[in-house]
Structure 1
Amino acid sequence: MKNLSVVLLFLIYFYFNINAQTTPTFISDSLDVYVNRGLERWQIPGSAVLVVKDGKVVVAKGYGVKELGTNDKVDENTLFLIGSNTKAFTGTALALLENEGKLNLEDKVVKYLPEFKMKDDWITKHLNLVDIISHRMGFETFQGDFMYWTSDLTDDEVIEKFGMLTPKYEFRTKYGYTNAGYALAGKVIQKVSGMRWEDYIKEKIFNPLNMNRTVALSTDFAKSENVSKPHSIVNGKVVVLPFENIDNLAPCGSIGSSINDLTNWIIAQLDSGRYYGNIVFPFEVIQRTRKPETIQGRARHPFNKTHFSLYGLGWGLMDYEGKELVMHTGGVNGFVTSVTLVPEEKLGIVVLTNTDQNAFFQSLKWEILDSYLDLPYRNYDSSFYAGYLKRQELNDKWLKEIRDSIAMNFNPEISLSEFEGRYKHDVYGYAELKNIDDDLELTLEHHSKLKGKLEYIGNNRFLCTYSDPLYGIKVFQFYVQDGKVRSFDLYVDDFIDFQPYRFYKK
């Protein structure tokens, strides 16, 4: 009996000692230092971090403040806009409806939205539900987003204009991240369920998971309590941004949530759809959202082994050191976030930040992930920040050269009044240019809050500085024939859209 008691005591000691060691030292000893250093380095006012392992919360903690210049601390219930991490909720909603027999994901979009049209009639007839949310429609990444983002367009107008665009590539031949496809998905969910997208998501996902503070719309986020304010960096300094309405693209990126609420989403994702023993969504639904549908390309990692990057229904999928990663990032005005699942390890990681110009939300994710996979510490944040500084230096040099040209006060080859007037893009609509104190002021038909200041830099080019820093500072080329301005190319920051938009003078 004595020997048996000794063995039992040893087993108990061994069990608890092994379990105590399952939390990596990076988490137990270094996390706070790493996060606080990252916030200072990237000028991030506030962040929230969640780590779930084996169904239990290891870390759920807020850092910093909700708004620059205040002492209002971020806590585990502080809401952040999660951006495109919304897409996994929309993908899950469609998979739920399929599981209930109310639709088939291979169904054509026009079966549910017969009024929808694309420029190519053949694509209109063959476009299915998987196509619109797995980014295989033939569009370039972000193509069309300038027209919709923070615009005055309704969701129906977004869908109409989206259908008028000419895809850059052939149908189903290339991955191109297409936000407006999710606006279509939201309309299909409404048609099939009888509920608007935001109501369906709340009833079928938020409520069963006790995500009681989570909101589906950006307009509700702005009215909520304990919310993080959006921030950006302008001329090297952090500024607070106004809340923007992005609900015309809600199913692609408008959810606001906290790490406390996202804990429940992560636990269900890692436990076959169960939450405290209740099946919120069947395991088949989870598996359907993680089925690879589109090849993004070869995956790259600066240090460790990976091969392929794929896309499912609102989730990115990749291999990493022999493990499957299910993950996504999100970026909207003033926020960037990441959600990462390692199903085999029952590990979930969430990083939320309240600026839109940092790579910390990714570097911390990789550091936590590597620590759980027993991989070497890489100090990703220092590497990412060094790259950011180099890019910033090049951009500052470019901008200085442009501003030096402006300071030389070149006169346009033709009268400035020739550049004034009304211009039209065949899908977007109208832009107008007026002479204000020897510079041009840009206004846009569907962006009533947005203006641009155009300063002449020579060769029929102007530097446009947008009133909303998210839209960036871009050079517009004007095209002149026989002394008359015929058109110009409008650009916005790559965060919104890579494509030029040619406006013709009316």
Structure 2
Amino acid sequence: MPASTPRLRALPLLMATSLALATGTTRAAEIDTAKVDAVFAAFTPQTPGCALGVYREGQVLLARGYGLADLNHGVAITPETVFDIGSSSKQFTALAVLMLAKDGKLNLQDKVSKHLPELQALGQRFTIDQMLHHTAGLRDYNELMEIAGHDLGDVTSSDDALRLLAAQQGLNFEPGTRFSYSNSGYFLAAMIVERVSGQSLDAFLQARVFKPLGMTATHVRTDHTVVVPHRATAYRPNGPEGFAIDMSNWNQPGDGAVQTHVRDLARWDAELAHPKVIDPALLKAMQTPGKLADGSPISYGLGLSMDSYRGLPRVQHGGAWGGYRAMVMRFPEQRLGLALTCNAAQASTPALAQRVADVVLAGQFKDTPAAQAAPSAAPAGFDPAVFVGLYEGEPGDILRIEKQASGALAMRRAGGGAALRAIGLRRMQSHSGITQLDLADDGKTLTLTRNDDPKPVPFKRLPDYQAGAAEQASLTGRYYSAEVGAEWTLSSKKDGLTLKGPGAQEAQVSALKADLLEGPGFSLRVERDAKGAPVALVYDSARTRGLKFVKR
């Protein structure tokens, strides 16, 4: 809403609903609710906000709402407010596939083209199991749809997404050799569930999971026109004090689209803790980390990710779609789960959930929360200047190390970024601890390692480069991709090169070296013919690589 809009009247925050338990390490009465409320202080009776559920083996210890579900009418968020949980939906898609495998209707080692012949030769290269573990190498269909000119306000169907994936001629990498999160695999998994079962994903999950567990408000949304009782509207910031509606009209299931509330998610938490409806072997398979073809372990199971927080094993999956944000998290050894659903795009649900866990599991962790830990000083002799620069990994995979105004270093890669801290003279780490960077003694090679991917990635330092006017002019023109059915125009202006696609604003692009351009969150490799004339641009990003646009 515009900054000039009158403030909505204040509404009292919903008080907690608690159940005291006689056993266990965490009881409702032991939770410091004032500290939990402080975690959500930014969400007021005038802003969008979040719903929180904290569970012990499915028993609700705490259920709370913060902020507004609807800014137009001043409707408060409650534990019964329904939200889209984005990619947190993937665990239910994976479960549906596992149930059909148990029924003998499919095999996880089936080639995907067996069930989706539209994918033809491409679908013969990877299995259902690889799709579910994000090791199939699929380009991300969400990004492909955007490249094709669709924004979230467009009405799109499963047929639209399936046609787009069927038109792809390449993969990001050879299946089984790497882990790379992709929404495409879970969308295709939903299509397989529908083909094999003869039901929509929603109908299948209603019959086999949601209704048997009593999750009466939970469903898979595939029709943006359907009225959903008690659903929150999603928002994004719009100016210093305002908000704008941020909803999607895309209707694809599988990678997202589950809508639910935190009380229903308590029933799911109970089933994960003590299965009564679902075969325990299937739930165990979901929570078993996968492996690459060479046996290297990954942290992702089937629709769930396994890691640790402050020394405690954790199972979790976040979600984001439009202005919705979500996190479903469990600490199995402490028999504690929590769910966080938000309608504010600025809400960092992983960080919020961890802060709630800091309160609820206080005294049970093995180390200090990052928010309270004293910042570690850089080792004596550490020189941040040796890290600053531009690096390239695989062709088009660009990493920047930059010095911020505060003097601290930060990294940027494919539109994402992270603050860095020194843990050695030639070693840095993201503050989250997920990413580590090691610089070779000669300063020319930087090796990136992530704790969710067993494969270290080497990057080579790029020297400074300035493209000449003639080089820029030779690149201008129209480029077409048959794989997405879209045309892009590259133009030369006073301030450099700009790229314009269908339905998109112009994006500034700059030359990093000869025949390598960088835009916001992507890079473009220039291909030339035998005479040296540019004939194509090859698009690369974190989740979509090798997408070719041929010059007209």
Query: Would you call these one fold, judging by a TM-score over 0.5?
Result: yes
Determine the C-alpha separation between the residues in 1 that align with 2:66 and 2:347. 15
Partner of 1:174: 178
**Paired residues for 1:143-158 under 5 Å:** 143-148=140-145, 154-158=157-161
Residues 217-236 of structure 1: pairs in structure 2 closer than 5 A = 217=221, 219-220=223-224, 223-233=227-237
- Structure 1 position 343, deviation (Å): 2.9
Cα deviation per residue 1:246-272 (whole Å; 9 max; x = unaligned)? 323x10111111112222222222221
Q: Distance in 2 between matches of 1:462 and 1:107?
A: 39
- For residue 98 of structure 2, what is the aligned residue in structure 1? 95
Instruction: Measure the CA separation in 2 of the matches of 1:127 and 1:455.
Output: 36
1:197 matched to 2:196? The reply is no
Supply the AA of the counterpart residue of 1:32. D
Say if 1:159 and 1:180, in contact at 8 Å, map to a contact too: no
Q: Structure 1 residues 148 and 388, CA, compared in 2 at 3 Å: closer, same or farther? A: farther
- Report the CA distance between 1:338 and its aligned residue: 0.9
Root mean square deviation of aligned Cα: 4.7
Tell me, yes or no, if the aligned pair for 2:26 and 2:56 is still in contact at 8 Å.
no
In 1, Cα distance between the equivalents of 2:227 and 2:371? 34
The AA in structure 1 aligned to 2:487 is A
Q: Check if 1:133 corresponds to 2:137.
A: no
Unaligned ranges ≥5, structure 1? 1-14, 297-307, 400-411, 445-449, 465-471
Equivalent residue for 2:165, pick from 140, 162, 169: 162
Partner of 1:407: none
Cα–Cα, structure 1 residues 177 and 455, in superposed 2: closer, same or farther, change >3 Å?
closer
Matches of 1:392 and 1:211, distance apart in 2: 47
Q: Following the alignment from structure 1 to structure 2, what is the Cα–Cα distance between the partners of residues 237 and 388?
A: 26
Does residue 209 of the first structure (1) align with residue 213 of the second (2)? Answer: yes
**1:309 and 1:318 in contact (8 A); partners too:** no
Please name the residue that 1:347 is paired with: 336
- 1:2-401 equivalences in 2 (<5 Å): 22-23=27-28, 25=30, 27-37=32-42, 39=43, 45-68=48-71, 71-119=74-122, 124-125=123-124, 127-139=126-138, 143-148=140-145, 154-163=157-166, 164-217=168-221, 219-220=223-224, 223-233=227-237, 239-248=243-252, 250-272=253-275, 274=276, 279=277, 281-294=278-291, 310-319=299-308, 323-359=312-348, 361-370=349-358, 371-372=360-361, 374-375=364-365
> Do the aligned residues in 2 keep the contact of 1:366 with 1:380 (CA within 8 Å)?
no
Q: CA deviation at 1:213?
A: 2.2
How far apart, CA to CA, are the structure 2 residues paired with 1:260 and 1:312?
A: 25
* Distance change (3 Å), C-alpha of 1:490 and 1:429: same
Q: Work out whether residues 443 and 452 of structure 1, in 8 Å CA contact, stay in contact via their aligned partners in 2.
A: yes
Match of 1:451 among 496, 504, 508: 504
Letter of the 2:228 partner, please give it. Answer: S
Deviation of 1:74 after TM superposition, in Å, equals: 0.8
Residue of structure 1 equivalent to 2:487: 431
Query: Which amino acid is 1:284 matched to?
Result: A
Deviations for 1:415-439, whole angstroms, at most 9, x for unmatched residues? x99998753124112225599x999
Q: Tell me the SS of whatever aligns to 1:208.
A: helix
Cα deviation, residue 48, structure 1 = 0.9
Corresponding residue of 1:402: none
Give per-residue Cα distances to partners, 1:105-155, cap 9 Å, x unaligned.
233323333443244xxxx4463221111111135xx64531135566643
Partner-residue secondary structure (3-state), 2:179:
coil
- 1:382, 1:167 → 2: CA distance? 43
Deviation of residue 487 (structure 1)?
Answer: 5.3
Q: Is the 8 A contact 2:511 2:518 kept in 1?
A: no
CA contact (8 A) 1:175 1:294 kept: no
CA distance in 2, matches of 1:376, 1:104: 41
* Equivalent residues of 1:218, 1:245 under 8 A apart: no
* Offset of residue 46 of structure 1: 0.6
Distance 1:454 1:127, change over 3 A: closer
**Distance of aligned partners of 1:21 and 1:228 in 2 relative to their CA distance in 1, 3 Å threshold:** closer
Cα distance change on mapping 1:213 and 1:108 into 2, 3 Å: same
TM-score scaled by length of structure 2? 0.65
Give how far 1:457 is off. 8.2
Relative to structure 1, is the Cα distance of residues 461 and 330 closer, same or farther in structure 2, using a 3 angstrom cutoff? same
- Structure 2's unaligned 5+ residue stretches are 1-19, 374-402, 416-467
Deviation at 1:216, TM superposition (A): 0.7
Task: Report the Cα distance in structure 2 between the residues aligned to 1:314 and 1:365, rounded to whole angstroms.
Answer: 19
Secondary structure of 2:248's counterpart equals coil
Alignment length, in residue pairs? Answer: 437
Letter in 1 for 2:355: E
Q: CA deviation at 1:443?
A: 4.6
Query: Structure 2 CA distance, aligned partners of 1:374 and 1:380?
Result: 15
Per the alignment, residue 505 of structure 1 pairs with 551
Give the TM-score taking structure 1 as reference length.
Answer: 0.70
**Cα shift at 1:389:** 11
Q: Report the alpha carbon displacement of residue 477 of structure 1 after superposing the two structures with TM.
A: 9.0
Deviations 1:317-354 (A, max 9, x none): 22456754221111211122111123333221111122
Work out whether residues 79 and 227 of structure 1, in 8 Å CA contact, stay in contact via their aligned partners in 2.
yes
- Separation in structure 2 between the aligned mates of residue 239 and residue 389 of structure 1, nearest angstrom: 28
Is the alpha carbon distance of 1:100 and 1:228 closer, same or farther for their aligned partners in structure 2, counting shifts above 3 Å?
same
Shifted more, 214-223 versus 421-430: the winner is 214-223
Q: 1:336 to 1:236 in 2, by over 3 A?
A: same
- What percentage of aligned pairs have identical amino acids? 20
Name the structure 1 match of 2:394. Answer: none
Q: 1:489 to 1:24 in 2, by over 3 A?
A: farther
- Give the residue type in structure 1 aligned to 2:350: Q
The 3-state SS of whatever aligns with 1:504 is strand
Residue pairs, 1:454-473, within 5 angstroms: 454=507
Cα distance change on mapping 1:388 and 1:364 into 2, 3 Å: farther
Which amino acid in the other structure matches residue 201 of structure 2? Answer: W
- Secondary structure of residue in 2 paired with 1:247: coil
Q: CA deviation at 1:55?
A: 3.3
- Contact 1:309–1:317 under 8 Å retained in 2: no
